[in-house]
Amino acid sequence: MRRWPWRALRVVAVLVLLDTLAQAALAGLFVTGDLDLLTWHAANAGVLSALTVVQTAAALVVWRAARGPWWPAVASAVLVALVSVQQGLGEARVLAGHMPLGMAVFGGATALTYRAFTQRTSTPAPLVRSRQGVAG
């Protein structure tokens, strides 16, 4: 099994997770009174959106080219959708939905990163039956 697709997925998953954490930090600092950080928060939303699309592409390569499991592609696609909705809610200033969804995005990014690092990337060797002990 090719390992480079898994490495690529892991790198992008970490970047998505770190950028999601940066989004939370920017939002928290904005809420505490640094109004300039709202502009940074909005700009970084575009970066996060792009990273989730790249993550989905990497997950598709894991699934199709590396013959890995399908779940990273589905989870990444769901994350793309959640980030999209998150951006829309933020731009509309619907904080009652924006803030909880932000926590869900962070949780999803965390879970996907964890699973990408703990997923077995190789298939076990097939069992070979021994002819010893078989009456002929």
Query: Which tens digits make up the pLDDT trace of 34-59?
Result: 889 999 999 999 999 999 999 999 99
Kindly state whether residue 135 falls inside one of the protein's structural domains: no
Kindly state whether residue 126 falls inside one of the protein's structural domains: no
Q: How confident is the model at residue 120 (pLDDT cuts 50, 70, 90)?
A: confident
Nearest-angstrom CA–CA distance, 96 and 134: 69
Output the pLDDT for position 34. Answer: 86
Q: How many domains does the chain have?
A: 1
Kindly state whether residue 22 falls inside one of the protein's structural domains: yes
Name the residue range of residue 39's domain: 4-118
Q: What is the 3-state secondary structure (H, E, C) of 87-112?
A: HHHHHCCCHHHHHHHHHHHHHHHHHH
Nearest-angstrom CA–CA distance, 109 and 105: 6
Kindly state whether residue 109 falls inside one of the protein's structural domains: yes
Kindly state whether residue 129 falls inside one of the protein's structural domains: no
Kindly state whether residue 30 falls inside one of the protein's structural domains: yes
Kindly state whether residue 134 falls inside one of the protein's structural domains: no
Per-residue model confidence as pLDDT tens digits over 90-106? 999 999 999 999 999 99
Average pLDDT over residues 69-84: 96
Kindly state whether residue 125 falls inside one of the protein's structural domains: no
Nearest-angstrom CA–CA distance, 37 and 43: 10
Q: How confident is the model at residue 129 (pLDDT cuts 50, 70, 90)?
A: low
Q: What is the mean pLDDT of the chain?
A: 90
More confident residue, 47 or 33: 47
| Predicted structure pTM score | 0.85
